[in-house]
Amino acid sequence: MKIAVIENEDIRVKRVEDITLQGREGAIVKVLGCGLCGSDIVKFREKISPNGTVLGHEIIAQIVEVNSKTDFKIGDKIVTSHHIPCGECLYCKNGNVSMCEHFKKTNIHPGGFSELVYLSEEHLLNVAQLLPSNLDEVEGSFYEPLGCCVRAVRRANLPEKSKVLVIGLGSIGILMAQALKAMGMEVLGCDLIDERVDLLKSLGVDAINSSDLNKTQNYIKSITDGYGVDAVFMTSGSDKAIDVALKLVRNGGTILVFASTPLNLGYANNEIYYRELTVLGSYSPAPEDLKTSLELLKSGKVKVKGLSTIYDLDRVNEAFKDTVANKILKAYIKVK
Ligand SMILES: [Zn+2]
Ligand SMILES: [Zn+2]
């Protein structure tokens, strides 16, 4: 089978022996395609993952071999995510499932950018689901990233109709804005790139170009009786955007952090204190968020058609480079 592995500054496709179940519980799936996640880019660029790693986890796949207590059978087309919480530890009991040691340890093997993948019985029991018949494979690949957004909305725990600003309209910002709207919020998106602003508007969510901060601030004041927004969702990975978030959120408001930033600059302590801000992070999805994600995709409340640019597995390196260069919004690697 073909796999795509990290090799220094590149991702290279090579051939290895096919994997089989060999008596294990779980399933071997043929990967039909896999979305390229922002976290794959970070792991590759910051050299967090060593040479030989197969990245990719947003897979759409078809079962080719199965040994499971579940109803999954050969030929089923499925979506899945890669990590599973234990449900028992201190983190799980306190709702921080993505901090669970078991969650971090579990994965799909060898990774999504591979022709074949092994899914454990735990994956089949907890996070794998059939691809709904009204979704195509590329749409299905948004199951996991949208699940991450659903979790962020839940963690922010905002009252319905809260006014929420999404800063950064990359693929995650576009998903986040739609998820917020679908979950009852009044949403405005902003970005420095007109194309992305227009894209969100075309999906039915209001958006503005925030290049001129004064103008943006005045606009936000005009739609919030002078207060500022109830919450900012930070999907921008830019350190500069932190200041923008602090300027646009109201006193007593919430900032949900959903991206790492290169300089790792924080939110100023005294702003948090004197203005009674809530700053919180959200990382990865829980199984119940994934269920909601699939419902949102299936019902069309979150639209993802046309967001992805499609590359063959042999061109995965190009997909990484184009994503880093902001040439495309989201890459989907077509494997079969
Ligand atoms: Zn992802
Ligand atoms: Zn746990």
CATH number belonging to domain 2-142+304-334:
3.90.180.10
**Cα(271) to centroid(ligand 1), Å:** 31
C-alpha of residue 199 to centroid of ligand 2, in Å: 38
Domain ranges of the chain: 2-142+304-334, 147-281
Q: What is the mean pLDDT of residues 225-238?
A: 97
Q: How far apart are CA 294 and CA 145, in angstroms?
A: 11
63 pLDDT tier (thresholds 50, 70, 90): very high
Q: pTM of the full predicted structure?
A: 0.96
pLDDT-based confidence at residue 13 (cuts at 50, 70, 90) = very high
Question: What pLDDT score was predicted for residue 23?
Answer: 95
Whole-number Å distance, alpha carbon 39 to ligand 1 midpoint, is 6
CATH number, domain 147-281, options 3.30.1370.10, 2.80.10.50, 3.40.50.11740, 3.40.50.720: 3.40.50.720
Q: Look at residue 103 in the predicted model and tell me its pLDDT.
A: 97
Spacing of C-alpha 304 from chain mean position: 13
**Of 78, 160, 136, 146, residue with least CA distance to 295:** 146
* Crossing angle for the helix pair 287-299 and 143-156, to the nearest 10 degrees: 110
CA of 57 to the centre of ligand 1 (A): 6
Considering every ligand atom shown, identify the ligand nearest to the alpha carbon of residue 99 and give its number.
Answer: 2
- Rounded Cα gap, residues 292 and 295, in angstroms: 5
Across the chain, what does the average pLDDT equal?
A: 97
Centroid of ligand 1 to alpha carbon of 37 (angstroms): 4
Ligand nearest to the CA of 330: 1
Q: Over the stretch 175-194, which tens digit does the pLDDT of each residue have?
A: 999 999 999 999 999 999 99
Scored b (16 or more CB within 10 A) or e, 82-104 reads bbbbbeebebbeeebbbbbebbe
Mean pLDDT of 267-279: 97
Distances from the Cα of 38 to the Cα of 42, 85, 145, 195, 233, angstroms: 6, 22, 10, 19, 16
Segment 311-327 shows an average pLDDT of 95
- In whole angstroms, give the CA distance from residue 206 to residue 191: 12
Instruction: Compute, in angstroms, the gap from residue 143 CA to the centroid of ligand 1.
Output: 9
Q: Do the Cβ atoms of 30 and 107 come closer than 8 Å?
A: no
C-alpha of residue 59 to centroid of ligand 1, in Å: 10
pLDDT, tens digit, for every residue of 275-307? 999 999 999 999 999 999 999 999 999 999 999
pLDDT of the residue at 139: 98
Query: Which ligand lies nearest the alpha carbon of 36?
Result: 1
Q: How far is the CA of 213 from the centre of ligand 1 (A)?
A: 30
